Each structure stands twice: as structure tokens, then as C-alpha cells.
Amino acid sequence: MPMRWTVASDVDGTLTGDRAALDRLAARLQKLRRAGTLFLILSTGRRLEQVVSGMAEEGLPEPDAVLCQVGTEIYVPPLSLASRPLGAWRERLLAEYSRDEAVSFLEGIEGLVMQPDVFNTELKTSCFLDGCPDPDGAAAEIRRRVEPHSGAYQVVWSSGRDLDILPASSGKGKAIRFLVESRGLDANRVVVAGDTGNDAAMFEQFGMGVVVANAKSELVALAQSLGEGRVYRARQPYAAGVEEGLEHFRVLPATSSGA
């Protein structure tokens, strides 16, 4: 029986950015899904609505599961605007997270702006720090405040702009782990792909990762610290980089394009 892979890819800046490359990659992934040799996870900070519209308008491939809001919500097909997140995951996270306490860690940070309400949910507290005099310093201060409560909360810092306070048990990496365990997928055959800091948790959890050429320095630094072999740094950006990495790990057969 052919081996079954799990591929978990970030969306913005990883799959999106080059529509022609995404169309080519999506067609190759769908072929594997139809053959039953691929379980595809879209792992994103987007809301479900934005993933559903992205499938219709941006060429996002049809997935077997979607992690939204940075791994605080999990959805499985059939996907529609009426889909509800998986109850088992939601309840587990709700038990450890207090939205009020999470917000209290952000008090008095100069220049901080809360993200729009739709990105602030019962399980995710998100703000922008790019208006702060020292964004990295502000993120470090928030990390210091959260540290004594690390059994319940984690801080995710991405792109020099976005800071999320999530339940400690959530995030993209742990949400994929939950799916791997609950779906009986092979944890040694998971390849992840990303471009920014909120993807770091996926690389920490799993043995094989693809960093696209346009990745932010925060993810490149993490990839370097994980060492040779585990992470493939693609020469190409966006979906072409993902395709290159999936060929490197032999999830996709190599093409003659030299990618």
C-alpha cells in the first residue's frame, strides 16, 4: 500500500503570493488526495470565512482539515460558512483560557493597537505592536508578564507586527498533533510549511519542515536552530517553494524543472 503523508501548510505568504505556482501545486496535491496518499491541512491565522472564500477565489486547495485563528479552531469538511469548530478541541482550550486575564497582560503597552474584533475570540487575544516605539521590546515585555502563567497561556510573535496570546495547549503545532492522534495519522510522515513566527510551533512539533524563500527572519532563525536535515529552506518563494520542499522530502515526485 502506498505511504500516506500529512502536509500542513500555512496559507498567507506560503501558499498565496504566486497564483500560477499555487495552481500547479494545488493540482499535484489534489492528485495525491484522490489517490488516498495525502491528508492535507491548511494551518492559518485566517478565519474560516476567509479560508472558504480563498478556496473559491484564491485557488486554495481543498483540504482534509483546516486550523483557523492560529490553531485555536479546527474545522473538518464539509466546509461552509455554517461550519462549527471541533467541540473536543474547543472545550479543551476553553478550560485553560480566560480572555479577561489574557487581555490584562496587554495593559499599558504604549502604542499597542488591538486587532479587529473578528480576530479577538474567546480563545485568541491579538494585537498589533508595529505602532510601539520598540515593537520587539514590547513583545518581550508581554512575554515576561505571561511567563509566570505559562501553564495556561503562550505568546506568539510574528512579522514584527502581530502578537497573539493563545491557550498554552493550542497553536498550529499542537493542533496538528491533535489531528494526527485523533485521525490515526503517521506522526513520522508529517511535513509542515510556513513563512512567519506563528508557523514556528509546527516546525518544533514535527521532523520535516519547508521554509519558503520569502520567510521572515524569525522563522529562518528558528529553522537554523533546529539543525540540518529537519528543515528545507526553499530557493523559491510562496507555493513554488512549498512544491520544491515537498519534492525534497519525496512527498511529490521530482520534476525536471530543477526546482
The answer to whether 69 and 58 are in contact (CB under 8 A) is: no
Instruction: Check residue 158 for interaction with ligand GLC (CB under 6 A).
Output: yes
Kindly indicate which of the ranges 157-165, 202-210, 216-224, 232-240 contains the residues binding ligand GLC, using the contact rule CB under 6 A.
157-165
Pairing mode, if any, of strands 73-75 and 153-158?
A: unpaired
Taking the complex as a whole, how short is the minimal distance between the CB of residue 13 and ligand GLC, in angstroms?
Answer: 10
Size, binding site for ligand GLC by CB under 6 A? 11
Q: Distance (Å, rounded) from C-alpha 150 to C-alpha 167?
A: 9
Kindly indicate which of the ranges 105-113, 155-163, 173-181, 236-244 contains the residues binding ligand GLC, using the contact rule CB under 6 A.
155-163
User: What are the residues whose beta carbons fall under 8 Å from the beta carbon of 41, sequence distance 6 or more?
Assistant: 6, 7, 8, 9, 63, 64, 65, 66, 67, 176, 179
Q: Which of residues 108-137 bind ligand GLC (CB under 6 A)?
A: 115, 119, 126
Taking the complex as a whole, how short is the minimal distance between the CB of residue 52 and ligand GLC, in angstroms?
Answer: 15
Listed in order, strand segments (DSSP E) in the chain are 5-9, 38-43, 65-68, 73-75, 113-114, 125-128, 153-158, 162-167, 190-194, 208-211, 231-233
Instruction: Check residue 43 for interaction with ligand GLC (CB under 6 A).
Output: no
Instruction: Check residue 53 for interaction with ligand GLC (CB under 6 A).
Output: no
Kindly indicate which of the ranges 73-81, 83-91, 156-164, 221-229 contains the residues binding ligand GLC, using the contact rule CB under 6 A.
156-164
Taking the complex as a whole, how short is the minimal distance between the CB of residue 180 and ligand GLC, in angstroms?
Answer: 21
Which string of DSSP letters, residue by residue, matches 55-88? HHHT-PPPPSEEEETTTTEEE-SSP-TT----HH
Instruction: Check residue 70 for interaction with ligand GLC (CB under 6 A).
Output: yes
Q: Which is nearer to ligand GLC, 162 or 244 (CB)?
A: 162
Instruction: Check residue 218 for interaction with ligand GLC (CB under 6 A).
Output: no
Q: Distance (Å, rounded) from C-alpha 21 to C-alpha 25?
A: 6
Instruction: Check residue 5 for interaction with ligand GLC (CB under 6 A).
Output: no
- Classify 114 as helix, strand or coil: strand
Interface residues with ligand GLC (CB under 6 A) are 45-46, 70, 115, 119, 126, 156, 158, 162, 164, 198
